[in-house]
C-alpha cells in the first residue's frame, strides 16, 4: 500500500478521499487554487500544495502544476476524484511518466470510453445493447431524420450532462446544435456530436463495476439516477425500484462485459437507459471511467468503501470480493446540495457560509466540502455537499433522507434544499414511478417562490431584540415601543425576502408581544436569542431557527431545510417607486458573458435572447423582459459580471419614440 497519496481535486470529493486515506494510515496531500486557500479539504489534508490562480489554465486542470505538486510532496500515487482531470487520459499518462500511480483505469480504457462514438462501437462488439444513433454527423439534419425524432445531441468527448440537448422538432435543430457545440468546446475542447434516438419515458440506471489487475471484474448492483434536471442528477438511489433480480443480473453482466472490453481496472460505472414501460429492455449509454458523485449509496447498501478498493487495486492487490459475495442490504438515497436558487430558474448563487448545520444520526452520512467561513464563488461546480441516508427499505430511506435535509442549513448561501425536500416528498417519487422527465414536468410544484410568513415574524422579532436595551435598568425612552401621544402604535418593520415583502407590526416587548403581518389578525409571540439560534413562540407554537447575520445587516434564518435571507426596506415609499414600464436586464448570477446576441438600437420581443452567461460551467440565456428597443447595453463577450449587475435596458417603443 502507498505511504503518500495526492488528491487532485477539491471540495466534498477531496474531503471524502482524504477521510479514507486517514483511516488507512496513508499521508494525504491536497492541492488548491488561490480561491480555495482556506478550503476545508486544505485544512483536513496532512499537507497542501498551492497550484496557482483559480483560472483553469493554472489550477486543478493544469497537468504540469499537479505533477509538480505530486513530485515535490513525495506522493507515490494520485487520486483524481471526479471532474477536472479524472477522465483525462493525458493526465494518466503524465502520472506514469513521472513514476506515479494513477488511482484509476489505464489511459487506454479512458480513451476508449471517453469518446462516446468509439465506446458504443467497442461495447457493441462485446455484445452489449446500444441505443440506435449516428456518429457521422457532417449532415446533422440528415442524421437526425435517419435516427428519428425526438433526438438527443451529446458531445462525443465528455459527460456530466454538459452540451446535451433534446430536440423534438427539426425546426429546433440548428439552434440546438450551435448551443451544444459551443458548450462542448468550452467544457471538453471538442465539439463533435453524437446523435441518438431519445427513449421515451426513460429511466437512467447505472451499474457500479470493480476490476483488478488480475482479471477479476465484478459489479456491485445498480443505482437509480432518473431524477434529473437538464441531464444533471439530483437524487440517486440504490437499488432501483424498477429492476427485478433477473434484470439486475443481466444488466450487471453487460456492465462487466463492457468493462472487460477495454481492459478496465479500478472502480467505474456503466450507464444504461431503460424504458419505464419495458424495464427488461436496456441500452448502453456510456461508461464513466472514475468514481461517481453518487457512489455513497452503493457503499451504504454493500458495506464496501469504494475509495479503499480503488487504492488497493491501484497498489496491485487482488479483489477478495467475488460476485457471489455481493449482497445489497436495505436501501440508500442521496440528494445533492447545490449553491443555486430554484425559485429563480436554478441560477447559481454564492456567498460566504456564515453558519452551517449538517445532519447527524444513525444511518445518515454527509459528504461535504463546507465549513463556516467557506466562500462559495462562481469559479467551480455549484455542488456543495451530498446528504445520504440508509433504511431497511426504500420508504424508510426516503423518509430518513427527508428528515436529514430538514436538518441541513447553509446560512449565507442560497441552496436547493427546499426543492430537494419537495422532490423527495413527491407522490410519484415515493411510489417509484420515475423517469428522467419527472422533475421538468413538476418544476412549478417543486419550486415555490413564496416565503413562509413565519420567517417574517421571526425576523421582525429578531430585529426588535436587537433594538431593545439590555441591562438591569432600562430608560423608558430607550424602549422601541412606537409610542405616540395617546397610545402606542407599536414598532413597524417593512421586510423583504427574495421577491416578497411584508409589513410586520409588533406591540409589546420581545418576551411578550402581539405581532401582525400585513394588517392581519395579531397573535401572541415571544423570542429570545440563543447560541446560533433564534427561539420563537408564536400563537402557541414553538419554533427554533438557525440564525446568522451578514456584515451588510441581512438576517439569515433557517428551519426545516428552508433558508431565507431577510433584509429591511429602509424607505416605505421607495419600495413602490420602481417603474415597471422599462425592462432592466440584470445578471441572475455571477459569471462570464459568453455571447451578446443583441446590439444597442435593436427592436426585440419579450423573451428574445439577448445574452448568454456562463456560470459554474453551465450556460444561461438572458432574455428581454418586455417588447421594446435595446437602449442600453453594458457588457461585451468575455466580461465577468456579478449577481444582479445591470447588463442592458429594454425600453418599450412608445417610450422611445
- Distance, in Å, from the CA atom of 450 to the CA atom of 453, rounded to the nearest integer, reads 9
My answer on whether 193 and 209 are in the same domain is no
Which three cell numbers, joined as nine digits, stand for 213?
489487475
Q: Tell me if the pTM is above 0.95.
A: no
* Grid cell digits, residue 5: 497519496
Angstrom distance (rounded) from CA 173 to CA 140: 8
Judge if 235 and 327 occupy the same domain: yes
Which CATH number characterizes residue 161's domain? Answer: 3.30.1490.20
pLDDT for the residue numbered 191: 87
Residue 650 falls inside a structural domain: yes
CATH number of the domain to which 79 belongs: 3.40.50.20
pLDDT for 477: 45
Q: What is the mean pLDDT of residues 196-202?
A: 84
Give the domain-ending residue among 534, 568, 602. 568
Residue 112 resides in a domain = no
Query: Is residue 18 located within the same domain as residue 51?
Result: yes
pLDDT tens for 526-568 read: 999 999 999 999 998 999 999 999 988 899 999 999 999 999 8
Burial class (CB in 10 A: 0-12, 13-18, 19+), 473: exposed
Domain CATH code at residue 650: 2.40.50.100
Contact between 274 and 462 under an 8 Å Cβ cutoff? The reply is no
653, pLDDT greater than 70: yes
4-7 vs 27-33, strand pairing mode: parallel
CA 581 and chain centroid, separation: 36
Rounded-to-10 torsion of CA 82, 85, 91, 95? -50
Nearest to 648 by CA among 613, 616, 614: 613
Residue 235 lies in a domain: yes
Domain assignment of residue 152, given as a range: 132-197
Angle of the 173-188 helix axis to the 140-147 helix axis, nearest 10: 110
**Structural domain contains residue 476:** no
pLDDT band at 579 (very low <50, low <70, confident <90, very high): very low
What is the distance, to the nearest Å, from the Cα of residue 35 to the centroid of all Cα atoms in its chain? 19
Instruction: State whether 153 and 293 are in the same domain.
Output: no
Dist. CA 297–CA 322, nearest whole Å: 20
212 and 92 both lie in a single domain: no
Checking if the pLDDT of 223 tops 80, the result is yes
| Judgement on whether residues 255 and 351 belong to the same structural domain of the protein | yes
Q: What angle do CA 448, 454, 455 make, to 5 degrees?
A: 75
Do residues 203 and 276 touch, judged by C-beta distance below 8 A?
Answer: yes
Domain shared by 189 and 215, yes or no: no
- 452 DSSP assignment: P
Q: Are 180 and 193 in contact (CB under 8 A)?
A: yes
pLDDT band at 572 (very low <50, low <70, confident <90, very high): very low
Binned at pLDDT 50, 70 and 90, residue 68 comes out as very high
Total count of domains within the chain: 5
Hunting for cell 407590526 — which residue is that? 505
Bond preceding residue 239 cis, omega within 30 of 0:
yes
Residue-level pLDDT at 582: 59
Give me the percent of the chain exceeding a pLDDT of 70: 92
Highest mean pLDDT among 13-27, 133-147, 599-613: 13-27
Task: Verify that 291 and 401 share a domain, yes or no.
Answer: yes
| Spatial separation of the C-alpha atoms in residues 78 and 104, rounded to whole Å | 9
Residues 153, 282 within the same domain: no
629 beta partners:
603, 651
Residue 136 pLDDT level (bands cut at 50, 70, 90):
low
What average pLDDT score do residues 463-474 get? 73
Q: Which of 197, 232, 249 is the last residue of a domain?
A: 197
Pair 253, 396 in one domain: yes
DSSP 581-595: SSEEEE-SSSEEEEE
Mean pLDDT of the region 60-76: 97
Residue 316: strand pairing partners: none
**pLDDT level of residue 52 (50, 70, 90 thresholds):** very high
Last residue within a domain, chosen from 568, 600, 633: 568
Q: What is the pLDDT of residue 480?
A: 58
| Residues 210/326, Cβ–Cβ less than 8 Å | no
At 626, list the grid cell: 418586455
Same domain, 89 and 158: no
Are 274 and 392 members of one domain?
A: yes
Does a structural domain hold residue 111?
Answer: no
Q: 109 in a domain, yes or no?
A: no
Which among 656, 647, 603 is positioned nearest to 627, based on CA atoms? 603
Q: What percentage of residues in the chain have a pLDDT greater than 90?
A: 73
The pLDDT tens digits for 445-461 are 999 778 999 999 999 99
287 contacts 119 by C-beta, under 8 angstroms: yes
Residue 40 clears pLDDT 80, i.e. is over it: yes
Q: What is the pLDDT of residue 655?
A: 55
- The predicted model gives 29-36 an average pLDDT of 96
Question: Does residue 124 sit within a domain?
Answer: no
- Residue 237: predicted pLDDT: 98
Q: What contacts 455, CB < 8 A, 6 or more positions away?
A: 497, 557, 559, 562, 564, 566
Mean pLDDT of 318-330: 97
CA distance 553 to 572: 18
pLDDT of residue 199: 82
In a domain, 574, yes or no: no
Is the Cβ–Cβ distance between 22 and 5 less than 8 Å?
no
Amino acid at each position: 500500500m502507498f505511504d503518500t497519496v495526492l488528491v487532485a481535486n477539491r471540495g466534498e470529493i477531496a474531503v471524502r478521499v482524504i477521510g479514507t486515506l486517514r483511516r488507512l494510515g496513508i499521508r494525504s496531500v491536497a492541492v488548491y487554487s488561490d480561491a480555495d486557500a482556506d478550503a476545508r479539504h486544505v485544512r483536513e489534508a496532512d499537507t497542501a500544495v498551492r497550484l496557482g490562480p483559480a483560472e483553469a489554465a493554472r489550477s486543478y486542470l493544469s497537468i504540469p502544476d499537479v505533477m509538480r505538486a505530486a513530485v515535490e510532496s513525495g506522493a507515490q500515487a494520485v487520486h483524481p476524484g471526479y471532474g477536472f482531470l479524472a477522465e483525462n487520459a493525458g493526465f494518466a499518462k503524465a502520472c506514469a511518466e513521472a513514476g506515479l500511480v494513477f488511482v484509476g483505469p489505464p489511459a487506454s480504457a479512458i480513451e476508449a470510453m471517453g469518446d462516446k462514438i468509439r465506446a458504443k462501437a467497442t461495447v457493441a462488439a462485446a455484445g452489449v445493447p446500444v441505443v440506435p444513433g449516428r456518429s457521422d454527423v457532417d449532415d446533422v439534419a440528415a442524421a437526425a431524420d435517419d435516427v428519428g425524432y425526438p433526438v438527443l445531441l451529446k458531445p462525443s468527448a465528455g459527460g456530466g450532462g454538459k452540451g446535451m440537448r433534446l430536440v423534438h422538432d427539426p425546426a429546433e435543430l440548428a439552434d440546438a446544435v450551435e448551443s451544444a457545440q459551443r458548450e462542448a468546446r468550452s467544457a471538453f475542447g471538442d465539439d463533435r456530436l453524437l446523435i441518438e434516438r431519445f427513449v421515451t419515458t426513460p429511466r437512467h440506471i447505472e451499474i457500479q463495476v470493480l476490476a483488478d489487475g488480475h482479471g477479476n471484474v465484478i459489479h456491485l448492483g445498480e443505482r437509480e439516477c432518473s431524477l434529473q434536471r437538464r441531464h444533471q442528477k439530483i437524487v440517486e438511489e440504490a437499488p432501483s425500484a424498477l429492476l427485478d433480480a433477473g434484470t439486475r443480473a443481466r444488466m450487471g453482466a453487460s456492465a462487466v462485459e463492457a468493462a472487460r472490453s477495454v481492459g478496465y481496472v479500478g472502480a467505474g460505472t456503466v450507464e444504461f437507459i431503460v424504458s419505464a414501460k419495458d424495464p427488461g429492455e436496456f441500452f448502453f449509454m456510456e461508461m464513466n471511467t472514475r468514481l461517481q458523485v453518487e457512489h455513497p449509496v452503493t457503499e451504504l447498501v454493500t458495506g464496501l468503501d469504494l475509495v479503499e478498493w480503488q487504492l488497493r487495486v491501484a497498489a496491485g492487490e487482488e479483489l477478495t470480493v467475488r460476485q457471489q459475495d455481493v449482497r445489497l442490504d436495505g436501501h440508500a438515497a442521496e440528494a445533492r446540495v447545490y449553491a443555486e436558487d430554484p425559485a429563480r430558474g436554478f441560477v447559481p448563487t454564492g456567498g460566504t457560509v456564515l453558519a452551517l448545520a449538517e445532519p447527524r444520526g444513525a444511518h445518515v452520512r454527509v459528504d461535504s466540502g463546507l465549513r463556516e467561513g467557506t466562500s462559495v464563488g462562481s469559479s467551480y461546480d455549484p455542488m456543495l455537499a451530498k446528504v445520504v441516508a440508509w433504511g431497511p427499505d426504500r420508504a424508510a430511506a426516503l423518509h430518513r433522507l427527508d428528515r436529514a435535509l430538514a436538518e441541513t442549513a447553509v446560512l449565507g448561501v442560497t441552496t436547493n434544499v427546499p426543492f430537494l425536500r419537495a422532490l423527495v416528498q413527491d407522490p410519484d417519487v415515493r411510489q417509484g414511478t420515475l423517469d428522467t422527465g419527472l422533475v421538468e414536468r413538476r418544476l412549478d410544484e417543486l419550486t415555490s417562490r413564496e416565503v413562509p410568513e413565519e420567517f417574517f415574524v421571526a425576523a421582525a422579532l429578531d430585529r426588535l431584540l436587537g433594538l431593545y436595551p439590555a441591562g438591569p435598568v432600562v430608560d423608558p425612552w430607550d424602549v422601541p415601543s412606537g409610542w405616540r401621544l395617546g397610545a402606542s402604535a407599536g414598532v413597524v418593520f417593512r421586510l423583504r425576502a427574495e421577491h416578497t415583502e411584508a409589513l410586520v407590526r409588533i406591540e409589546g416587548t420581545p418576551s411578550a408581544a402581539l405581532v401582525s403581518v400585513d394588517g392581519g389578525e395579531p397573535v401572541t409571540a415571544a423570542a429570545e436569542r440563543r447560541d446560533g439560534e433564534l427561539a420563537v413562540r408564536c400563537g402557541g407554537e414553538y419554533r427554533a431557527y438557525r440564525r446568522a447575520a451578514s456584515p451588510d445587516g441581512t438576517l439569515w434564518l433557517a428551519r426545516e431545510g428552508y433558508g431565507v435571507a431577510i433584509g429591511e426596506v429602509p424607505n416605505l415609499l421607495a419600495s413602490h417607486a420602481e417603474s415597471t414600464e422599462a425592462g432592466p436586464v440584470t445578471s441572475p448570477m455571477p459569471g462570464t458573458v459568453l455571447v451578446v446576441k443583441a446590439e444597442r438600437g435593436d427592436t426585440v420581443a419579450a423573451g428574445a435572447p439577448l445574452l448568454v452567461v456562463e456560470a459554474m460551467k453551465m450556460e444561461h440565456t438572458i432574455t428581454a423582459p418586455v417588447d421594446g428597443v435595446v437602449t442600453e447595453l453594458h457588457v461585451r463577450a468575455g466580461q465577468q459580471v456579478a449577481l444582479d449587475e445591470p447588463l442592458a435596458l429594454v425600453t418599450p417603443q412608445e417610450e422611445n419614440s
